[in-house]
Structure 1
Amino acid sequence: MPFIPISCLLFLLFYSHPAAADTFTSFYQTKKHLSSQLSDTAKTLYCGCGITRQGKKLIPITQECGYQPRKPITRNGKPNSRATRIEWEHIVPAWEFGHQLQCWQEGGRANCRKVNALFRRMEADPNNLAPAIGEINGDRSNYRFGMLPDTPFRHGDCAVKVNFKQRVIEPPPAARKQIAHAYFYMQQTYGLRISDKQQKLFEAWAKMAH
């Protein structure tokens, strides 16, 4: 098994609650629970925006974090609704952990949800979910994390970079420790396979102060 820093293992002992995670059997169920339990001080994963409620909807407070939509208007000429709502993002994408299961090869995400209890637990595990602005969740897609020194910022003052050609996303420094911990949690809990390059990157991120 790849080496995992002791700081990450201590984090997992503190942060991981297997019994609690096992109580969730669907992604929808987990999202509903997390939304209802979200604290008033919660911030979005990438931009660090505050979050407010508008009825049952969660809305990013963009004026306090400087986020601006990369695409304010969609292709059909309408305002980009995903830029004004909070979505629950899988830090380790469902594509990444699902692709390592046979059920994905036989029918993708829908098939895994239908026939594979392990996938349903992984998809619903709250330890791998974080609130994110919908547009950035969409831009991230299932791209891997990495460093993009030559890629410009395209979401206002939100310090996230996305290279669509390389299919890589560079998160702001403040988000990197949480991302690394989520990957190590999924690795320890479900046997997620992580490449050597990504393992080294996440080990470095896990040591960051934030």
Structure 2
Amino acid sequence: MSYSNNDLFSPRQLRWLAATLWLSLPLSAHAAAASAAQPQTFVAAKKALFKLYQANPQQTTFYCGCPIRYQGKKMVPDLERCGYKVRKQATRAARIEWEHIMPAADFGRQRLCWQEGGRKSCVKNDPGFAQIEGDMHNLVPAIGEVNGDRGDLGFSDWNAATGMYGQCEMVIDFKRRQAQPPQRSRGAIARAYLYMAERHQLRLSDQQRKLYNGWNRQYPVSRWECERDEAIARLQGNHNRFVQEQCD
């Protein structure tokens, strides 16, 4: 991103100034600003993201790049236009679901509620889990079948041959329990994982950090990533700094 030579401050300097002023505010002002942000639950996040994507109809599904059609309150992938081939679950392939890039199981297992009763227990008994589950920076529209096949599998890159979903380059290795995402989504995946680990104090393995730091460098942000980050910051009250740092 560029800025005019006539501007007094660059975007990075303005963010530093804003952060400095924020830290100088009394606690009551922080509380008021936080309460102005949208409630962060999975249900609320999905509703807000639906409106965000509907207002940007040129956007496509996250992994496969399929155009999205809107039918009332439903988002439907245009499978023909993107050359998607149904692997097994035709019903689920015909709808769009909100995918957690870092799966709920990954951050859920790091909380006591998950050990006591899995996701249902966390949703019911742990407000902190609800905040993480509804973090919009970690949610993207995906073809339901791909979302279901991926489940809570971790991402990797082993140069697997594509084609299991037609022209969609997502690969799921059920035996190895790994998913190889298309190059088009790797940068955003990396920045979501790094953000989630930092924002919510979640553990990543050394192998994961190495992979995602590499993808973050190799696959820079798109214009839509920057616009999406700005929109979510207005709705949720915070940026993904790993995106924002590349949007200057």
TM-score exceeds 0.5: yes
Q: Which residue of structure 1 lines up, in the alignment, with residue 70 of structure 2?
A: 53
For 2:81, the aligned partner's letter is E
What SS does the aligned partner of 1:53 have? strand
Do 2:160 and 2:180's aligned partners in 1 also have CA atoms closer than 8 Å?
no
Do 2:98 and 2:141's aligned partners in 1 also have CA atoms closer than 8 Å?
yes
Match of 2:213 among 186, 197, 203: 203
Q: Is the aligned partner of 1:185 residue 2:202?
A: no
For 2:177, the aligned partner's letter is R
Q: Shift of residue 144 of structure 1? A: 0.4
What SS does the aligned partner of 2:172 have? strand
For 1:86, the aligned partner's letter is I
Q: Which residue of structure 1 lines up, in the alignment, with residue 47 of structure 2?
A: 32
Larger Rg: 2
Q: Shift of residue 99 of structure 1? A: 0.4
Higher helix share: 2
In structure 2, distance between residues paired with 1:142 and 1:67: 22
Do 1:24 and 1:125's aligned partners in 2 also have CA atoms closer than 8 Å?
no
Do 1:87 and 1:131's aligned partners in 2 also have CA atoms closer than 8 Å?
yes
What is the TM-score normalised by the length of structure 2?
0.71
What is the TM-score normalised by the length of structure 1?
0.83
**Which string of whole-angstrom CA distances, capped at 9 and with x for unpartnered residues, describes residues 134-180 of structure 1?**
00000000000011324543000001110001110000001000000
RMSD between superposed Cα atoms in Å = 2.0
Do 2:186 and 2:219's aligned partners in 1 also have CA atoms closer than 8 Å?
no
Match of 1:131 among 141, 147, 165: 141
For 2:191, the aligned partner's letter is H
**Which string of whole-angstrom CA distances, capped at 9 and with x for unpartnered residues, describes residues 108-132 of structure 1?**
1011111111100000110100000
What SS does the aligned partner of 1:179 have? helix
Match of 1:82 among 63, 86, 92: 92
How do 1:1-210 residues align onto structure 2 when only pairs under 5 Å count? 19=34, 23-38=38-53, 39-71=56-88, 74=89, 80-150=90-160, 152-210=162-220
Change (3 A) 1:207 1:142: same
Unpaired stretches in structure 2, ≥5 consecutive residues: 1-11, 16-32, 221-248
In structure 2, distance between residues paired with 1:159 and 1:132: 13
Change (3 A) 1:88 1:128: same
Displaced runs of 4 or more, over 4 A: 18-22
In structure 2, distance between residues paired with 1:22 and 1:186: 18
For 1:161, the aligned partner's letter is V
Q: Shift of residue 24 of structure 1? A: 2.8
Unpaired stretches in structure 1, ≥5 consecutive residues: 1-9, 75-79
Change (3 A) 1:20 1:125: farther
In structure 2, distance between residues paired with 1:94 and 1:177: 20
Q: Shift of residue 20 of structure 1? A: 9.1
Number of aligned residue pairs: give it. 188
What SS does the aligned partner of 1:32 have? helix
Change (3 A) 1:107 1:22: farther
Share of identical aligned residues, percent?
44
